[in-house]
Structure 1
Amino acid sequence: MHTVKEAALITGLTIHTVRFYTDKGLVPSVQRNKDNIRLFDEESINWLYGAKCLKKTGMPIKVIKMYVDLCLEGDSTVPQRCALMMEYREASLVQLEEAKRLVVHLEQKAAQYQDILEHRTPDITNPGNWHKIKNEHTAAD
């Protein structure tokens, strides 16, 4: 059995998040000792990992709770659980495409800075210097 602190270390969650997930009913197998202290077994750790993963998809706590409840109802809820996963899969694919666009942008910026470092182009990336560049162009025109 693991304490809240140990469960947090094992899962990579914060102590606060472990308590929050437990309080929200996302860890149905959590136990409590005679002093009402939460105790986590392997099943509880698995529920925490599951909640962590679903939260990373952007799934709200309320929907994760609905998923947990469906799991507890058993195999008859597999179609509903599958539908939930497909819905958030689509949302994750949208996030993935946005992340790819951001990587391309960062790669372009890095190439621009490499050109600046190698003196192939002037540094026009610093907004604090834009007035100087504008004044230089105005004076040259």
Structure 2
Amino acid sequence: MYTVKEVAKMLDLTEHTVRYHTDKGLVPSVQRDINNNRLFDDESLNWLTAAKFLKQCGMSIKDIKRFVDLCLEGVSTIQERYEIILKQKAVALAQVEEAKRSVKYLEDKAKHYLDVINAVITDDTNPGKWSNRNHTQTHH
């Protein structure tokens, strides 16, 4: 059995998040000790891991709770759970594409700054130094 602190470290979550997820019913297998402290077993870790990834895809706590409830209902909900997972996969793929665009922007920006540092181009990166005629142009 694991404590909130141990689980938070294992899953790279904050202790607050672990408590919040359990309080919202996202970890149906969580147990309590005689002092009412949360205790987690491997099954609990699985529930928390699922909640973590679904949340990272932008799924609301309410919708994650619905997914948990469907899991608990059993085999009859497999089709609905499958559709939820496909939808969240599409969201995750869109996040990956957005992250790729961000990385590309930062790579271009880093190259531009390197060109300024190496005196390949003059410094046009400071808006305070833009002339009025250049104000409407796109700057890095």
Compute the TM-score of the two structures, normalised by the length of structure 2: 0.88
| Structure 2: gaps (5+ residues) | 135-140
Q: 1:22 to 1:136 in 2, by over 3 A?
A: closer
Identity of aligned residues (%): 55
Q: How many residues align?
A: 134
1:72-118 C-alpha deviation (Å, 9 max, x unpaired) = 11122110011111112222222222222222111111111121111
Instruction: Name 1:7's counterpart in structure 2.
Output: 7
The CA deviation at 1:135 is: 6.5
**Structure 1 residue 29 corresponds to structure 2 residue 29:** yes
> Comparing both structures, which one devotes a greater share of its residues to helix?
1
| Structure label with greater radius of gyration | 1
Against the structure 1 CA distance between its residues 113 and 35, is the aligned structure 2 distance closer, same or farther, given a 3 Å change threshold?
A: same
Q: CA deviation at 1:136?
A: 9.5
String of CA shifts for 1:42-97, please: whole Å, max 9, x gaps.
11111111111111111111111011111111122110011111112222222222
Cα shift at 1:14: 0.8
The equivalent residue for 1:103 is 103
Q: TM-score, normalised by structure 1?
A: 0.88
Measured after TM superposition, the shift of residue 128 of structure 1 is 2.4
Asked if 1:72 is matched to 2:80, the reply is no
- Aligned partners of 2:23 and 2:114: how far apart in 1? 50
Q: Which moved more, 1:115-124 or 1:97-106?
A: 97-106
Q: Which residue of 2 aligns with 1:86?
A: 86
Q: Indicate the residue corresponding to 1:120 in structure 2.
A: 120
For residues 118 and 133 of structure 2, the distance between their equivalents in structure 1, rounded to whole angstroms, comes to: 22
- The runs of 5 or more residues in structure 1 that have no matched partner are none
CA-atom RMSD in angstroms: 1.6
